[in-house]
A and B are shown apart, each in its own frame.
Chain A
Amino acid sequence: MASACVDDFGPPIAGPSFVVRARGAPDDDDFPIGDDFIGGGRQAIIPQDLAEETPFQQLIRHWMNERHAPDILPGQEMLLGRLLDHIRKQTSDVELLRADPDSSEEEHFRIMLVQTEVERVKFVIRSYVRTRLHKIEKYAKFISVNPEIHEKLSKAELDHARRYARLVDYHFNQSVLQSLPEQQRSAEENVPFMPPMTAEPDKLRPVFAHALQDCPPMRLPDGTMSEMQKGQIVLVPYYVVEHLLLRGEVELV
Protein backbone atom coordinates (compact mmCIF):
# COMPACT_ATOMS: atom_id res chain seq x y z
CA MET A 1 0.00 0.00 0.00
CA ALA A 2 3.02 2.26 0.57
CA SER A 3 3.44 3.00 -3.11
CA ALA A 4 -0.23 3.90 -3.48
CA CYS A 5 0.12 6.40 -0.65
CA VAL A 6 3.08 8.06 -2.33
CA ASP A 7 1.09 8.35 -5.52
CA ASP A 8 -1.49 10.28 -3.60
CA PHE A 9 0.94 13.16 -3.27
CA GLY A 10 1.24 13.51 -7.02
CA PRO A 11 0.01 16.57 -8.83
CA PRO A 12 -3.78 16.89 -9.09
CA ILE A 13 -4.85 15.26 -12.29
CA ALA A 14 -7.29 17.75 -13.68
CA GLY A 15 -5.57 21.13 -13.57
CA PRO A 16 -7.11 24.37 -12.34
CA SER A 17 -10.81 24.44 -13.18
CA PHE A 18 -12.71 22.81 -15.94
CA VAL A 19 -13.66 26.19 -17.36
CA VAL A 20 -10.10 27.42 -17.51
CA ARG A 21 -8.90 24.14 -18.90
CA ALA A 22 -11.63 24.00 -21.49
CA ARG A 23 -10.74 27.46 -22.75
CA GLY A 24 -7.15 26.51 -23.28
CA ALA A 25 -8.15 23.10 -24.57
CA PRO A 26 -5.86 22.54 -27.58
CA ASP A 27 -2.70 23.31 -25.60
CA ASP A 28 -3.84 21.85 -22.34
CA ASP A 29 -3.60 18.32 -23.54
CA ASP A 30 -1.80 16.80 -20.58
CA PHE A 31 -4.36 14.14 -19.86
CA PRO A 32 -4.89 12.31 -23.10
CA ILE A 33 -7.10 9.30 -23.21
CA GLY A 34 -4.48 6.78 -24.15
CA ASP A 35 -4.76 4.85 -27.36
CA ASP A 36 -3.63 1.86 -25.35
CA PHE A 37 -7.17 1.71 -23.98
CA ILE A 38 -7.58 -1.49 -25.93
CA GLY A 39 -4.91 -3.01 -23.72
CA GLY A 40 -1.35 -3.66 -24.83
CA GLY A 41 -0.50 -7.07 -26.17
CA ARG A 42 -3.73 -8.76 -25.22
CA GLN A 43 -6.33 -9.90 -27.62
CA ALA A 44 -7.42 -6.50 -28.84
CA ILE A 45 -11.10 -7.29 -28.94
CA ILE A 46 -11.39 -7.75 -25.19
CA PRO A 47 -9.98 -4.79 -23.33
CA GLN A 48 -9.41 -6.03 -19.79
CA ASP A 49 -6.64 -3.61 -18.84
CA LEU A 50 -7.30 0.05 -18.42
CA ALA A 51 -4.57 2.64 -18.62
CA GLU A 52 -3.21 4.35 -15.50
CA GLU A 53 -5.72 4.49 -12.62
CA THR A 54 -7.24 7.91 -12.00
CA PRO A 55 -7.89 8.95 -8.38
CA PHE A 56 -11.56 8.13 -8.81
CA GLN A 57 -10.74 4.67 -10.13
CA GLN A 58 -8.45 4.18 -7.14
CA LEU A 59 -11.31 5.12 -4.86
CA ILE A 60 -13.61 2.69 -6.64
CA ARG A 61 -11.04 -0.07 -6.11
CA HIS A 62 -10.69 0.77 -2.40
CA TRP A 63 -14.47 0.97 -2.08
CA MET A 64 -14.90 -2.50 -3.61
CA ASN A 65 -12.12 -3.89 -1.39
CA GLU A 66 -13.72 -2.38 1.68
CA ARG A 67 -17.13 -3.75 0.73
CA HIS A 68 -15.82 -7.29 0.33
CA ALA A 69 -13.18 -7.56 3.03
CA PRO A 70 -14.34 -8.86 6.41
CA ASP A 71 -11.72 -6.71 8.18
CA ILE A 72 -11.32 -2.92 8.21
CA LEU A 73 -8.73 -1.84 5.64
CA PRO A 74 -6.40 1.15 6.04
CA GLY A 75 -8.37 4.36 5.44
CA GLN A 76 -7.58 6.32 2.28
CA GLU A 77 -7.66 9.78 3.78
CA MET A 78 -5.28 11.40 1.30
CA LEU A 79 -7.24 10.11 -1.63
CA LEU A 80 -10.56 11.15 -0.12
CA GLY A 81 -9.23 14.61 0.66
CA ARG A 82 -8.05 15.05 -2.88
CA LEU A 83 -11.34 13.97 -4.39
CA LEU A 84 -13.33 16.12 -1.97
CA ASP A 85 -11.22 19.14 -2.93
CA HIS A 86 -11.86 18.36 -6.53
CA ILE A 87 -15.60 18.11 -5.97
CA ARG A 88 -15.56 21.44 -4.17
CA LYS A 89 -13.72 23.06 -7.05
CA GLN A 90 -16.03 21.64 -9.70
CA THR A 91 -19.09 22.70 -7.71
CA SER A 92 -17.92 26.25 -7.26
CA ASP A 93 -17.06 26.49 -10.96
CA VAL A 94 -20.53 25.28 -11.79
CA GLU A 95 -22.04 27.89 -9.53
CA LEU A 96 -19.99 30.64 -11.11
CA LEU A 97 -21.09 29.60 -14.57
CA ARG A 98 -24.69 29.32 -13.47
CA ALA A 99 -24.67 32.82 -12.09
CA ASP A 100 -23.46 34.12 -15.44
CA PRO A 101 -26.56 35.10 -17.46
CA ASP A 102 -24.60 35.06 -20.73
CA SER A 103 -23.66 31.41 -20.61
CA SER A 104 -24.57 29.61 -23.79
CA GLU A 105 -26.64 26.46 -24.21
CA GLU A 106 -23.49 24.47 -24.72
CA GLU A 107 -22.25 25.66 -21.38
CA HIS A 108 -25.46 24.60 -19.65
CA PHE A 109 -24.98 21.27 -21.17
CA ARG A 110 -21.44 20.98 -19.86
CA ILE A 111 -22.60 22.09 -16.43
CA MET A 112 -25.09 19.25 -16.45
CA LEU A 113 -22.40 16.68 -17.30
CA VAL A 114 -20.01 18.00 -14.68
CA GLN A 115 -22.75 17.85 -12.06
CA THR A 116 -23.63 14.32 -13.05
CA GLU A 117 -20.08 13.25 -12.49
CA VAL A 118 -19.85 15.06 -9.18
CA GLU A 119 -22.91 13.11 -8.03
CA ARG A 120 -21.32 9.82 -9.07
CA VAL A 121 -18.14 10.58 -7.14
CA LYS A 122 -20.15 11.69 -4.13
CA PHE A 123 -22.10 8.46 -4.18
CA VAL A 124 -18.96 6.34 -4.09
CA ILE A 125 -17.37 8.46 -1.35
CA ARG A 126 -20.51 8.22 0.74
CA SER A 127 -20.80 4.49 0.29
CA TYR A 128 -17.11 4.02 1.13
CA VAL A 129 -17.37 6.01 4.34
CA ARG A 130 -20.60 4.28 5.34
CA THR A 131 -19.06 0.86 4.75
CA ARG A 132 -16.25 1.74 7.13
CA LEU A 133 -18.72 3.19 9.59
CA HIS A 134 -20.63 -0.07 9.59
CA LYS A 135 -17.49 -2.08 10.36
CA ILE A 136 -16.37 0.41 12.99
CA GLU A 137 -19.67 0.16 14.84
CA LYS A 138 -19.75 -3.61 14.51
CA TYR A 139 -16.22 -4.05 15.87
CA ALA A 140 -16.18 -0.95 18.11
CA LYS A 141 -15.21 -2.87 21.24
CA PHE A 142 -12.56 -4.91 19.44
CA ILE A 143 -11.04 -1.74 17.95
CA SER A 144 -10.92 0.14 21.22
CA VAL A 145 -8.94 -2.63 22.96
CA ASN A 146 -6.56 -3.42 20.04
CA PRO A 147 -4.14 -0.54 19.43
CA GLU A 148 -2.66 -2.14 16.30
CA ILE A 149 -5.90 -1.43 14.39
CA HIS A 150 -5.84 2.25 15.31
CA GLU A 151 -3.46 3.21 12.54
CA LYS A 152 -5.92 1.96 9.95
CA LEU A 153 -8.51 4.49 11.10
CA SER A 154 -8.66 8.23 10.76
CA LYS A 155 -8.84 10.29 13.92
CA ALA A 156 -12.56 10.91 13.54
CA GLU A 157 -13.18 7.21 12.96
CA LEU A 158 -11.17 6.21 16.00
CA ASP A 159 -12.96 8.75 18.21
CA HIS A 160 -16.26 7.42 16.97
CA ALA A 161 -15.24 3.81 17.65
CA ARG A 162 -14.23 4.63 21.22
CA ARG A 163 -17.34 6.67 21.94
CA TYR A 164 -19.58 4.03 20.42
CA ALA A 165 -17.92 1.23 22.40
CA ARG A 166 -18.34 3.22 25.60
CA LEU A 167 -22.00 3.86 24.90
CA VAL A 168 -22.70 0.21 24.16
CA ASP A 169 -20.85 -0.87 27.31
CA TYR A 170 -22.80 1.62 29.37
CA HIS A 171 -26.06 0.49 27.85
CA PHE A 172 -25.36 -3.21 28.50
CA ASN A 173 -24.42 -2.39 32.06
CA GLN A 174 -27.44 -0.28 32.76
CA SER A 175 -29.98 -2.53 31.14
CA VAL A 176 -28.79 -6.04 32.08
CA LEU A 177 -25.34 -6.67 33.46
CA GLN A 178 -25.63 -4.69 36.69
CA SER A 179 -28.53 -6.84 37.85
CA LEU A 180 -26.63 -10.10 37.30
CA PRO A 181 -24.56 -11.83 39.96
CA GLU A 182 -21.03 -10.41 40.27
CA GLN A 183 -19.21 -13.22 38.43
CA GLN A 184 -21.45 -13.04 35.34
CA ARG A 185 -21.14 -9.32 34.74
CA SER A 186 -18.09 -9.28 32.53
CA ALA A 187 -18.70 -8.71 28.84
CA GLU A 188 -15.38 -10.31 27.91
CA GLU A 189 -15.48 -13.83 29.29
CA ASN A 190 -14.62 -16.69 26.95
CA VAL A 191 -16.94 -19.61 27.37
CA PRO A 192 -15.65 -22.83 25.74
CA PHE A 193 -17.54 -23.78 22.58
CA MET A 194 -19.21 -20.39 22.42
CA PRO A 195 -18.25 -17.56 20.08
CA PRO A 196 -16.33 -14.77 21.83
CA MET A 197 -18.48 -12.01 23.29
CA THR A 198 -16.60 -9.25 21.49
CA ALA A 199 -17.31 -9.26 17.76
CA GLU A 200 -14.09 -9.67 15.76
CA PRO A 201 -13.49 -9.55 12.02
CA ASP A 202 -13.79 -13.08 10.66
CA LYS A 203 -10.60 -13.45 8.66
CA LEU A 204 -11.52 -16.99 7.68
CA ARG A 205 -14.33 -15.72 5.49
CA PRO A 206 -13.63 -16.47 1.83
CA VAL A 207 -13.23 -13.60 -0.63
CA PHE A 208 -12.86 -13.39 -4.40
CA ALA A 209 -9.41 -11.98 -5.16
CA HIS A 210 -8.39 -10.71 -8.58
CA ALA A 211 -4.63 -10.48 -9.17
CA LEU A 212 -3.61 -7.07 -10.53
CA GLN A 213 -0.08 -8.32 -11.19
CA ASP A 214 1.88 -11.54 -10.83
CA CYS A 215 1.85 -12.23 -7.11
CA PRO A 216 4.45 -13.86 -4.87
CA PRO A 217 3.44 -17.31 -3.60
CA MET A 218 0.81 -17.43 -0.89
CA ARG A 219 0.32 -20.15 1.69
CA LEU A 220 -3.01 -21.89 1.43
CA PRO A 221 -4.89 -23.26 4.44
CA ASP A 222 -3.66 -26.82 3.79
CA GLY A 223 -0.04 -25.65 3.83
CA THR A 224 0.64 -25.79 0.11
CA MET A 225 1.93 -22.76 -1.73
CA SER A 226 0.16 -21.23 -4.69
CA GLU A 227 1.02 -18.41 -7.05
CA MET A 228 -1.40 -16.14 -8.84
CA GLN A 229 -0.66 -14.76 -12.25
CA LYS A 230 -1.94 -11.38 -13.35
CA GLY A 231 -5.63 -11.44 -14.12
CA GLN A 232 -6.44 -14.65 -12.30
CA ILE A 233 -9.40 -14.80 -9.99
CA VAL A 234 -9.43 -17.06 -6.99
CA LEU A 235 -11.74 -17.76 -4.06
CA VAL A 236 -9.69 -18.14 -0.85
CA PRO A 237 -10.09 -17.35 2.84
CA TYR A 238 -9.38 -13.68 3.50
CA TYR A 239 -6.26 -14.18 5.63
CA VAL A 240 -4.50 -15.92 2.72
CA VAL A 241 -4.56 -12.82 0.51
CA GLU A 242 -4.62 -10.17 3.23
CA HIS A 243 -0.97 -9.12 2.80
CA LEU A 244 -1.34 -9.06 -1.00
CA LEU A 245 -4.43 -6.87 -0.67
CA LEU A 246 -2.65 -4.43 1.66
CA ARG A 247 0.20 -4.16 -0.84
CA GLY A 248 -2.27 -3.48 -3.65
CA GLU A 249 -1.28 -6.60 -5.62
CA VAL A 250 -4.77 -8.02 -5.64
CA GLU A 251 -8.19 -6.44 -5.52
CA LEU A 252 -11.38 -7.96 -4.21
CA VAL A 253 -14.19 -8.42 -6.71
Chain B
Amino acid sequence: MALPPSLRTSITPLELELVASEQLVEIVPLVSMERTAFISGAYGPLRPPTKCKVPLWMASNLKLKKKCHMVPPAWLNVDFLQERLLRETTDPGFSEMPFRFAEVAKILLDVAPDDLQNPDRIRMLLKDIREARQAKSREGLSKLDHNELMLPNLCAMEINEIRPFFVRGMNVLTHLTREPVPVDAMDQM
Protein backbone atom coordinates (compact mmCIF):
# COMPACT_ATOMS: atom_id res chain seq x y z
CA MET B 1 0.00 0.00 0.00
CA ALA B 2 3.00 2.27 0.04
CA LEU B 3 3.16 4.97 -2.57
CA PRO B 4 3.41 3.43 -6.07
CA PRO B 5 6.92 3.72 -7.59
CA SER B 6 5.75 5.97 -10.41
CA LEU B 7 4.79 8.67 -7.90
CA ARG B 8 7.85 8.44 -5.67
CA THR B 9 10.22 10.76 -7.48
CA SER B 10 7.93 13.67 -8.10
CA ILE B 11 4.43 15.00 -7.97
CA THR B 12 2.39 14.55 -11.15
CA PRO B 13 0.75 17.35 -13.16
CA LEU B 14 -2.64 15.86 -12.31
CA GLU B 15 -1.90 16.16 -8.62
CA LEU B 16 -0.83 19.76 -9.13
CA GLU B 17 -4.17 20.33 -10.82
CA LEU B 18 -5.91 18.90 -7.78
CA VAL B 19 -4.02 21.32 -5.55
CA ALA B 20 -4.80 24.26 -7.81
CA SER B 21 -8.50 23.33 -7.81
CA GLU B 22 -8.67 24.46 -4.21
CA GLN B 23 -8.27 28.09 -5.34
CA LEU B 24 -11.29 30.33 -5.41
CA VAL B 25 -12.80 31.58 -8.66
CA GLU B 26 -15.79 33.69 -9.45
CA ILE B 27 -18.84 32.17 -11.08
CA VAL B 28 -22.20 33.42 -12.24
CA PRO B 29 -24.53 30.67 -11.05
CA LEU B 30 -27.53 29.59 -13.14
CA VAL B 31 -29.15 27.67 -10.28
CA SER B 32 -29.76 28.81 -6.75
CA MET B 33 -28.41 26.99 -3.76
CA GLU B 34 -28.43 27.76 -0.06
CA ARG B 35 -25.20 28.45 1.72
CA THR B 36 -23.60 25.10 2.34
CA ALA B 37 -20.78 24.10 4.68
CA PHE B 38 -17.97 22.17 3.09
CA ILE B 39 -14.80 20.83 4.64
CA SER B 40 -12.81 23.75 3.28
CA GLY B 41 -15.40 26.33 4.38
CA ALA B 42 -18.91 27.48 3.66
CA TYR B 43 -19.79 28.60 0.16
CA GLY B 44 -22.83 30.24 -1.29
CA PRO B 45 -25.59 31.10 -1.24
CA LEU B 46 -25.87 30.96 -5.01
CA ARG B 47 -28.46 33.43 -6.27
CA PRO B 48 -28.47 33.90 -10.01
CA PRO B 49 -27.32 36.20 -11.45
CA THR B 50 -25.18 37.41 -8.52
CA LYS B 51 -21.51 36.56 -8.78
CA CYS B 52 -20.15 34.22 -6.15
CA LYS B 53 -16.73 32.87 -5.18
CA VAL B 54 -16.35 29.11 -4.99
CA PRO B 55 -13.37 26.74 -5.26
CA LEU B 56 -12.28 25.87 -8.76
CA TRP B 57 -13.25 22.20 -8.39
CA MET B 58 -16.80 23.21 -7.56
CA ALA B 59 -16.92 25.73 -10.37
CA SER B 60 -15.81 23.18 -12.96
CA ASN B 61 -18.24 20.65 -11.55
CA LEU B 62 -21.10 23.15 -11.90
CA LYS B 63 -19.90 24.22 -15.30
CA LEU B 64 -19.84 20.66 -16.62
CA LYS B 65 -23.49 20.36 -15.59
CA LYS B 66 -24.22 23.71 -17.26
CA LYS B 67 -25.24 25.25 -13.97
CA CYS B 68 -22.92 28.25 -14.02
CA HIS B 69 -20.74 30.52 -16.10
CA MET B 70 -17.16 30.95 -15.00
CA VAL B 71 -15.64 34.41 -14.69
CA PRO B 72 -12.06 34.09 -15.92
CA PRO B 73 -9.38 35.51 -13.60
CA ALA B 74 -8.02 38.96 -14.47
CA TRP B 75 -4.86 37.51 -16.03
CA LEU B 76 -6.56 35.05 -18.36
CA ASN B 77 -7.29 37.27 -21.35
CA VAL B 78 -5.61 38.11 -24.61
CA ASP B 79 -4.42 41.61 -23.63
CA PHE B 80 -2.72 40.62 -20.41
CA LEU B 81 -1.09 37.52 -21.89
CA GLN B 82 0.08 39.43 -24.94
CA GLU B 83 1.79 41.96 -22.70
CA ARG B 84 3.37 39.14 -20.66
CA LEU B 85 4.61 37.41 -23.79
CA LEU B 86 6.25 40.63 -24.90
CA ARG B 87 7.97 40.91 -21.53
CA GLU B 88 9.03 37.27 -21.58
CA THR B 89 10.64 37.65 -24.96
CA THR B 90 12.40 40.98 -24.31
CA ASP B 91 13.37 40.68 -20.63
CA PRO B 92 15.92 38.03 -19.60
CA GLY B 93 14.20 37.37 -16.25
CA PHE B 94 10.94 35.54 -15.60
CA SER B 95 7.98 37.87 -15.33
CA GLU B 96 5.56 37.46 -12.48
CA MET B 97 2.71 35.06 -13.12
CA PRO B 98 0.26 33.47 -10.68
CA PHE B 99 2.03 30.52 -9.07
CA ARG B 100 -0.44 27.98 -10.44
CA PHE B 101 -1.37 29.75 -13.67
CA ALA B 102 -0.74 26.76 -15.90
CA GLU B 103 -3.07 24.49 -13.96
CA VAL B 104 -5.85 27.06 -13.60
CA ALA B 105 -5.63 28.04 -17.26
CA LYS B 106 -5.77 24.41 -18.35
CA ILE B 107 -8.86 23.69 -16.28
CA LEU B 108 -10.63 26.78 -17.57
CA LEU B 109 -9.70 26.11 -21.17
CA ASP B 110 -10.84 22.50 -20.86
CA VAL B 111 -14.07 23.10 -19.01
CA ALA B 112 -15.23 26.56 -19.95
CA PRO B 113 -13.81 27.68 -23.30
CA ASP B 114 -17.16 29.33 -24.05
CA ASP B 115 -16.74 31.65 -21.05
CA LEU B 116 -13.39 32.93 -22.32
CA GLN B 117 -12.95 35.49 -25.02
CA ASN B 118 -11.04 34.03 -27.90
CA PRO B 119 -9.94 30.78 -26.22
CA ASP B 120 -7.87 29.68 -29.21
CA ARG B 121 -5.79 32.82 -29.11
CA ILE B 122 -5.36 32.43 -25.33
CA ARG B 123 -4.21 28.87 -25.85
CA MET B 124 -1.62 30.00 -28.39
CA LEU B 125 -0.37 32.80 -26.15
CA LEU B 126 -0.06 30.49 -23.17
CA LYS B 127 1.90 28.07 -25.29
CA ASP B 128 4.24 30.82 -26.47
CA ILE B 129 4.74 32.08 -22.93
CA ARG B 130 5.42 28.56 -21.77
CA GLU B 131 8.03 28.05 -24.45
CA ALA B 132 9.73 31.37 -23.76
CA ARG B 133 9.93 30.56 -20.07
CA GLN B 134 11.01 27.00 -20.72
CA ALA B 135 13.95 28.25 -22.74
CA LYS B 136 14.96 30.50 -19.85
CA SER B 137 14.74 27.77 -17.26
CA ARG B 138 16.90 25.54 -19.44
CA GLU B 139 19.42 28.33 -19.69
CA GLY B 140 19.30 28.51 -15.89
CA LEU B 141 20.86 25.07 -15.80
CA SER B 142 24.23 26.66 -16.58
CA LYS B 143 23.99 28.60 -13.30
CA LEU B 144 23.54 25.41 -11.31
CA ASP B 145 26.17 24.73 -8.66
CA HIS B 146 26.28 22.69 -5.45
CA ASN B 147 25.20 25.67 -3.35
CA GLU B 148 21.87 27.21 -4.18
CA LEU B 149 19.88 28.33 -7.16
CA MET B 150 17.44 31.22 -6.91
CA LEU B 151 14.40 30.79 -9.10
CA PRO B 152 12.43 34.04 -8.95
CA ASN B 153 8.88 33.92 -10.33
CA LEU B 154 9.07 30.32 -11.42
CA CYS B 155 5.69 28.59 -11.31
CA ALA B 156 4.53 25.27 -9.91
CA MET B 157 4.25 23.46 -13.20
CA GLU B 158 7.59 24.75 -14.45
CA ILE B 159 9.34 23.69 -11.27
CA ASN B 160 7.83 20.26 -11.61
CA GLU B 161 9.06 20.07 -15.16
CA ILE B 162 12.69 20.89 -14.39
CA ARG B 163 12.73 19.00 -11.11
CA PRO B 164 14.15 15.62 -12.10
CA PHE B 165 17.02 17.04 -14.10
CA PHE B 166 17.96 19.89 -11.77
CA VAL B 167 17.81 17.70 -8.68
CA ARG B 168 19.99 15.04 -10.29
CA GLY B 169 22.42 17.66 -11.56
CA MET B 170 22.76 19.41 -8.25
CA ASN B 171 23.12 16.09 -6.47
CA VAL B 172 26.05 15.15 -8.68
CA LEU B 173 27.68 18.54 -8.10
CA THR B 174 27.18 18.15 -4.34
CA HIS B 175 28.92 14.80 -4.35
CA LEU B 176 31.77 16.13 -6.45
CA THR B 177 32.43 19.11 -4.20
CA ARG B 178 31.91 17.45 -0.85
CA GLU B 179 34.63 18.00 1.74
CA PRO B 180 37.37 15.48 1.01
CA VAL B 181 37.85 12.91 3.77
CA PRO B 182 40.98 13.88 5.81
CA VAL B 183 44.01 11.72 5.08
CA ASP B 184 44.45 10.14 8.51
CA ALA B 185 40.77 9.15 8.57
CA MET B 186 41.44 7.32 5.32
CA ASP B 187 44.34 5.48 6.94
CA GLN B 188 42.17 4.19 9.72
CA MET B 189 39.64 2.66 7.36
Q: Which A residues form the contact surface with B (CB < 8 A)?
A: 13-15, 17-18, 21-23, 25-26, 28, 31, 33, 37, 43-48, 50, 54-57, 60, 64, 67-68, 83, 86-87, 90, 106, 109-110, 112-114, 116-118, 120-121, 123-124, 127, 130-131, 133-134, 137, 192, 204-208, 220-222, 224, 226, 232-237, 240, 253
List the 6 closest A-B pairs by CB distance, nearest first: A25-B35, A134-B2, A18-B37, A134-B3, A21-B37, A206-B170
Residues of A within 8 A of B96 (CB): 43, 46
With A48-B98, A114-B36, A204-B171 in contact, is A37–B154 under 8 Å at CB? no
Residues of B within 8 A of A44 (CB): 74
A14 touches B42 (CB 8 A): yes
Question: How many A-B pairs fall under 8 Å by CB?
Answer: 173
With A220-B147, A234-B150 in contact, is A83–B35 under 8 Å at CB? no
Q: Across the two chains, which residue of chain A brings its CB closest to B154?
A: A233
Residues of B within 8 A of A48 (CB): 98-99
Residues of B within 8 A of A54 (CB): 39-41
State A140–B67 Cα separation when bound (angstroms): 50
Residues of A within 8 A of B75 (CB): 45-46
A114 touches B38 (CB 8 A): yes
State A109–B146 Cα separation when bound (angstroms): 54
B117 within 8 A of A: no
Give the B interface residue count (CB, 8 A): 62
Residues of B within 8 A of A37 (CB): 24, 53
B37 touches A110 (CB 8 A): no
Residues of B within 8 A of A116 (CB): 57-58, 61
Name the one of B19, B97, B159, B167 contacting A60, with C-beta atoms under 8 angstroms. B19
Name the one of A117, A118, A240 contacting B148, with C-beta atoms under 8 angstroms. A240
B166 touches A13 (CB 8 A): no
B26-34, B105-113, B118-126 - interface stretch = B26-34
B1 touches A130 (CB 8 A): yes
